[in-house]
């Protein structure tokens, strides 16, 4: 008799030597890199067949070098079938901990029932549900695919990946030889020649340390007097049902007794038939003959059964007896039309019987309301106190159909006592907590009929919405430009700034300019709020011009705010003071004042030169002042006769008396500090105050 390995192909292939290594002998030598793909399946179809099994045995241990990542690793054996299909032979699931990183990890399979039975041609593989941790170095070609693969799988169509020599191997075992544990090399049994056919000689006990092996037991013999059955024994854990059938029916139909095994024992007992019809007055005793035989010899004994007179039955425990409800049908007051039930209790000894009527009245009791589900969920948006989230799909079963009241234990929400409607109990702003997507709050909801209650969980998800409008920090902004500034020049002055109360994507804002009133777009605005030139201002605008247009700030959902923009065009670029303290400009800092100031100085120099000339030449100031006085205008009357006759002309008037000499007054000395200059500053231009 012998035991054979389960795989028929192994009958002609050598058995694996103990501790046979398949794969990389020294995993530490391949510790340079790890794969980066999550959920990676690998089959070791290598050029040198180093991951291919060449014998028959079992995988009892795995070794590999782990690096970088921890987690689950599924170590597998695949068997080629009908091309291009491969079938998964077995799988050992292990976990890699932090302490095992940067070491050669050894995973021994302690339970032989979990050893993977392998044969010639099987190939090692593995699957990492998370991030890979088995290391590799430059080397062989393998098949790699992202994701878990099912068996069978077409590995042939998976492209080969070059430069992958993984630091992993499997350690094989030849398994254990099966043995017969209760049979010596030679066993002698003595039997008489009258032994009946099919007498059991011995039951064999067979075993194999490798639980996954399937054992087949056979017997060879040179005699025909013995036979062997490999299917009539039961191994541990199996259940066997035996049925005993009588060989013949008793000839006497009036036989009221029979013999059978006493339940739970190996002993025979004498039993009376069901409904035997015993009558004391007809027969009060029975003489039985009991015979025992082994088909060779027999023995016979007598047995007498005495019958006693039957007594009328009676109830003796109705006052203290226990009547229970059905195990299959429920007593439900609400479903009963008649609230009382009449029960007839009968007792019988097989010949006589007695009955009694019991009336049971069913009374109603309060039954608790019950949620159909253990948990519910609902979704809504952030908002102000009182905002309605909705009504969850509560399903409550109350057999009494009582009015139900709901309550909730979360302070963030309120619930309609009779409707179950969920509302915000207080303002809930996800932006305040910088929650950019949604937040989930777990609550307990209670339903009560006023006395009894039930509880279920409610998961409320509140989403972040765009509930804030972006706002400029100022209503108006002022900038300064020179007509000759280059394209790309950032204007001095203010910087656009805006705020948005929303967090995340809804808080993202962009600036834009509306320059429709200017005829064309001269400016653009950056994300940081700086305004810069995209079109030259010369010759369209000159110094002193104020350009007005509108800036708009927009968030990701289209909510906007606007502000006024004023750009003052000056001859020279105005530099924004580095401090917030204003100052007066000097007169000559403005080119407009230089023009009229130069003209005024020329006139003043001319007057001073004339005055100096008069002083040096001794001009008669009295005569000069007299000439400057206003004289009455002389009236002339035209006479044509006088014009025609020169002789008739009037004589010229006498000369005026010679004026007396009056010395000229000394001119007043004027200090420069007494001169008041009128000028305009850039600030006057920006505010329009040119008075």
Kindly state whether residues 489 and 458 are assigned to the same domain: no
Q: Are residues 31 and 147 in the same domain?
A: yes
pLDDT category of residue 73 using cuts at 50, 70 and 90: very high
pLDDT for the residue 658: 65
Q: What is the pLDDT of residues 300-343, one digit of tens each?
A: 888 888 888 776 555 555 555 577 777 777 777 777 777 888 88
Strands (E), 521-586: 523-525, 531-533, 546-555, 560-570
The model's pTM: 0.35
Q: Both 443 and 497 in a single domain?
A: no
Interval 499-515 mean pLDDT:
88
What integer pLDDT is reported at residue 580 of this predicted model?
Answer: 43
pLDDT of amino acid 691? 46
CATH number of the domain residue 137 falls in: 2.60.120
CA dihedral 95, 96, 99, 100 (to 10 degrees): 130
In the listed set 173, 196, 225, which residue is the last one of a domain according to the structure? 173
pLDDT of residue 59: 95
Lowest mean pLDDT among 274-283, 451-460, 598-607: 274-283
Question: Which range (228-237, 323-332, 392-401) has the least confidence?
Answer: 228-237
Within-domain flag for 375: yes
Q: Is the peptide bond before 35 cis (omega within 30 degrees of 0)?
A: no
111 belongs to a structural domain = yes
Q: Sign (positive/negative) of CA torsion 589, 594, 600, 601? A: positive
Checking if the pLDDT of 578 tops 50, the result is no
Place of tokens 């104020």: 546
CA gap 482, 686 in Å, rounded = 14
CA 156, 161, 164, 167 dihedral sign is negative
Residues 526 and 575 in one domain: yes
Say what the pLDDT of residue 92 is: 96
- What is the reported pLDDT for 208? 67
What 3-state DSSP class applies to 468?
A: coil
Q: Say whether both 490 and 445 belong to one domain.
A: no
Final residue before a domain boundary, out of 463, 497, 515: 463
- For residue 498, the model assigns a pLDDT of 92
Whether 56 and 139 map to the same domain: the answer is yes
Residue 389, H or E segment: strand 388-390
Give a yes or no: residue 553 inside a domain. yes
Residues in the chain: 691
> In terms of domains, do 42 and 149 share one?
yes
Tally of domains within the chain: 4
Return the DSSP state at 451: S
454 in the same domain as 477:
no
> pLDDT-derived band of residue 153, with 50, 70 and 90 as boundaries?
confident
Per-range mean pLDDT, top range of 392-401, 608-617, 661-670 = 392-401
Annotate 614-636 with b (16+ C-beta within 10 A) or e (fewer): eeeeeeeeeeeeeeeeeeeeeee
B/e letters for 284-309, b = 16+ CB within 10 Å, e = fewer, are: eebeeeeeeeeeeeeeeeeeeeeeee
Domain, as residue range, for 166: 8-173
Of 165-179, 384-398, 472-486, 635-649, where does mean pLDDT reach its minimum? 635-649
The pLDDT value given to residue 247: 43
Give the pairing type, strands 257-261 and 285-293.
unpaired
543-553 pLDDT, tens digit each = 888 899 999 99
Work out the burial of residue 644: count CB atoms within 10 Å of its CB; fewer than 13 is exposed, 13-18 middle, 19 or more buried: exposed
Tokens of residue 668, six digits: 């007043």
- Where is the domain boundary, 579, 600, 616? 579
Banded pLDDT at 1 (limits 50, 70, 90): very low
Share of the chain above pLDDT 90, in %: 36
Give the mean pLDDT of 88-98.
95
In a domain, 670, yes or no: no
Work out the pLDDT band at 471, boundaries 50, 70, 90: very high
CA separation for the pair 133, 66 (Å, rounded) = 5
The predicted pLDDT at position 676 comes to: 43
Same structural domain for residues 507 and 383?
Answer: no
Least confident window among 153-157, 375-379, 471-475: 153-157
Mean pLDDT of 530-535: 93
Evaluate whether residue 27 is within a structural domain.
Answer: yes
User: For the residues 611-640, what does the mean pLDDT come to?
Assistant: 68
Whether residues 397 and 265 share a domain: the answer is no
529: left (phi over 0), alpha (psi -120 to 50) or beta: left
What CATH number is attached to the domain comprising 563? Answer: 2.60.40.60
392 and 538 both lie in a single domain:
no
- Does some domain include residue 535? yes
Domain assignment present for residue 231? The answer is no
Q: Domain check: are 63 and 169 in the same one?
A: yes
> Residue 292: pLDDT above 80?
yes
User: In this structure, is residue 430 part of a structural domain?
Assistant: yes
């Amino acid at each position: 008799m012998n035991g054979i390995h389960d795989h028929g192909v192994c009958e002609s292939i050598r058995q694996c030597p103990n501790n046979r290594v398949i794969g990389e002998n020294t995993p530490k030598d391949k510790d340079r890199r790890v794969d980066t793909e999550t959920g990676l399946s690998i089959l070791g179809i290598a050029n040198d067949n180093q991951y291919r099994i060449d014998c028959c045995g079992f995988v009892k241990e795995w070794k590999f070098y782990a690096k970088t990542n921890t987690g689950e690793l599924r170590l597998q054996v695949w068997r080629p079938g009908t091309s291009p299909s491969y079938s998964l032979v077995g799988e050992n699931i292990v976990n890699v901990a932090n302490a095992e990183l940067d070491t050669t990890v050894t995973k021994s399979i302690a339970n032989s029932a979990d050893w993977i039975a392998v044969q010639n041609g099987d190939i090692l593989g593995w699957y990492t549900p998370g991030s890979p941790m088995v290391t590799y170095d430059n080397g062989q070609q393998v098949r790699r695919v992202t994701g878990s693969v099912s068996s069978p799988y077409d590995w042939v169509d998976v492209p080969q990946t070059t430069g992958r020599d993984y630091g992993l191997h499997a350690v094989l075992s030849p398994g254990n030889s099966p043995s017969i544990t209760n049979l010596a090399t030679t066993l002698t049994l003595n039997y008489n020649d009258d032994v009946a056919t099919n007498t059991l000689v011995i039951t064999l006990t067979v075993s194999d340390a490798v639980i996954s092996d399937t054992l087949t037991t056979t017997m060879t013999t040179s005699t025909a007097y013995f036979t062997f059955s490999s299917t009539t024994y039961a191994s541990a854990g199996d259940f066997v049902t035996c049925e005993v059938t009588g060989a013949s029916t008793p000839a006497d139909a009036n036989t009221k007794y029979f013999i059978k095994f006493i339940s739970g024992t190996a002993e025979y007992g004498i039993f009376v038939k069901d409904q035997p019809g015993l009558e004391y007055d007809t027969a009060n005793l029975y003489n039985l003959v009991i015979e025992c035989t082994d088909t060779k010899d027999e023995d016979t004994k007598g047995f007498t059964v005495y019958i006693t007179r039957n007594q009328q039955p009676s109830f003796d425990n109705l006052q203290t007896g226990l009547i229970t409800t059905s195990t299959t049908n429920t007593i439900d007051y609400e479903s009963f039309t008649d609230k009382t039930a009449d029960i007839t209790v009968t007792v019988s000894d097989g010949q006589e019987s007695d009955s009694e009527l019991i009336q049971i009245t069913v009374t109603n009791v309060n039954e608790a309301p019950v949620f159909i589900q253990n948990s519910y969920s609902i979704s809504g948006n952030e908002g102000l106190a009182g905002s309605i989230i909705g009504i969850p799909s509560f399903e409550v079963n109350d057999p009494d159909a009582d009015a139900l009241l709901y309550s909730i234990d979360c302070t963030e929400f309120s619930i309609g006592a009779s409707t179950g409607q969920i509302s915000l109990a207080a303002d809930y702003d996800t932006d305040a907590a910088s929650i950019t997507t949604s937040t989930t709050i777990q609550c307990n909801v209670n339903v009560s009929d006023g006395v009894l209650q039930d509880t279920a969980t409610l998961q409320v998800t509140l989403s972040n919405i765009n509930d804030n409008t972006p706002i400029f920090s100022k209503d108006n902004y002022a900038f300064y430009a020179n007509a000759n500034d280059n394209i790309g020049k950032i204007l001095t002055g203010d910087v656009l700034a805006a705020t948005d109360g929303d967090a995340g994507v809804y808080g993202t804002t962009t600036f834009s300019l509306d320059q429709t009133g200017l005829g064309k777009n001269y400016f653009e605005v950056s994300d940081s709020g700086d305004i810069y030139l995209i079109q030259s201002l010369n010759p369209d605008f000159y110094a002193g011009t104020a350009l007005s247009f509108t800036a708009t700030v927009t968030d990701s959902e289209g909510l906007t705010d606007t502000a006024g923009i004023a750009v003052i065009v000056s001859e020279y670029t105005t530099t924004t003071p580095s401090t917030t303290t204003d100052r007066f400009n000097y007169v000559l800092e403005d080119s407009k004042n230089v023009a009229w100031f130069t003209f005024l100085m020329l006139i003043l120099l001319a007057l001073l030169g004339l005055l100096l000339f008069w002083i040096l030449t001794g001009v008669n100031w009295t005569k000069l002042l007299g000439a400057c006085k206003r004289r009455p205008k002389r009236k002339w009357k035209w006479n044509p006769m006088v014009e025609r006759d020169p002789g008739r002309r009037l004589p010229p008037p006498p000369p005026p008396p010679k004026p007396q000499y009056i010395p000229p007054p000394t001119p007043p000395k004027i200090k420069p500090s007494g001169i008041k200059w009128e000028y305009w500053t850039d600030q006057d231009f920006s505010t329009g105050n040119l008075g």
